[in-house]
Amino acid sequence: MNKILEKIKVAYRRYDTNRVHFKRSVNRSAGGDVGIYIMLALVATVMVLPMIYAICQSLKPLDEIFVFPPKFFVINPSFENFRELFRTMSESWVPFSRYVFNTILISVVGTMGNVLLSSYAAYAIAKIKFPGRETLFGIVRMSLMFNATVTGISNFLIMSALGWVDTYMAVIVPAFCTSFGLYLMKQFMETSVNDSVLESARLEGASENKIFWKIAMPMVKPAWATLILFAFKDLWNSGANLYIYSEQLKTLNYAISQLVTAGIERSGVSAASTVIMMIVPILVFIVSQNNVIQTMSSAGMKD
């Protein structure tokens, strides 16, 4: 089994090298390269401006926030908004650390379950031939059209019937099964995992579970890293207001949103909370950006 795994790894490296060579063989003129870089610079500027504006707003004193005409950049930066945010949170009867724990627990467990179940289901649909798999995947594609708001009532009725309302399970378990996760992993497995490699492993007597963990999952590492990013971002920003009512089970996003609705004098605190909520997803993206780029660049490629 170890010998066949080594042969599979060598074949995959050769395939990856040929793919990179094919990419490099595409030539463009110098003017085309300059045009692409200019376009990318403009798009990057448009995308980064909201983040810069949010950071500047969080560092502005109240007199700068309400100045007219409004200014984009901060003139006299101050961390008073952040100090006020943490001071207000510390005065809450539920400790600030409790909100952080709830958010981390829901985000981490929900993300890992999403990646695991999506990968297993995607492998079965993409690489195991069974009756009705195309129909099943067609239903998954159709479910991508439905917004979470549309399915909110039915999800609540299910959670209520299971007795999971006002528990972590009401938020974590639905995060395990997402149409986007299954669709992303299935498409990437079809294009990145060679069927002949899997057949070779089956002939050597490897079980499907061993093939999945030893061959398929390493080959689709960029895809599950991308899924981790998107799943974590959605759960981190989720307020879980529909299913959780106990204050001790609330997430950080909900706690901060309650603080910033106290009035116009909390505008600076609101800007500071926005920066705090976006820091963690940005850090997760920075760590996994190479895999995300590889996933997007490999999408749609065939052997």
Q: Which of 165-183 are b and which e, b meaning 16 or more Cβ less than 10 Å from the residue's Cβ?
A: eebbebbbbbbbebbbbbb
Report the number of distinct structural domains present in the chain.
1
- Whole domain around residue 203: which residue ranges? 79-298
How many CA atoms within 13 Å lie on the side-chain side of 202? 11
Residue 143 lies in a domain: yes
Residue 281 lies in a domain: yes
pTM beyond 0.85, yes or no:
no
The SS3 assignment for 1 reads coil
pLDDT at 117: 92
Residue 116 lies in a domain: yes
Residue 35 lies in a domain: no
pLDDT at 170: 87
pLDDT in tens, the chain (303 residues): 555 556 555 555 554 555 544 444 455 567 777 888 889 888 888 888 888 888 888 888 877 888 778 788 888 888 888 888 778 777 777 777 888 888 889 989 999 999 999 999 999 898 888 888 888 888 888 888 887 777 878 888 888 899 888 888 888 888 888 888 888 888 888 888 888 888 888 888 888 888 888 888 888 888 888 888 888 888 888 766 778 888 888 888 887 777 666 666 677 777 888 888 888 878 877 776 666 655 555 554 444
Residue 26 lies in a domain: no
Distance, in Å, from the CA atom of 109 to the CA atom of 112, rounded to the nearest integer, reads 5
Q: Using alpha carbons only, what angle is made at residue 74 by residues 68 and 78, rounded to the nearest 5 degrees?
A: 115
Distance, in Å, from the CA atom of 70 to the CA atom of 64, rounded to the nearest integer, reads 8
Q: What is the CATH number of the domain that holds 144?
A: 1.10.3720.10
Residue 45 lies in a domain: no
Q: Which of 270, 267, 248, 271 is nearest to 257 (CA)?
A: 270
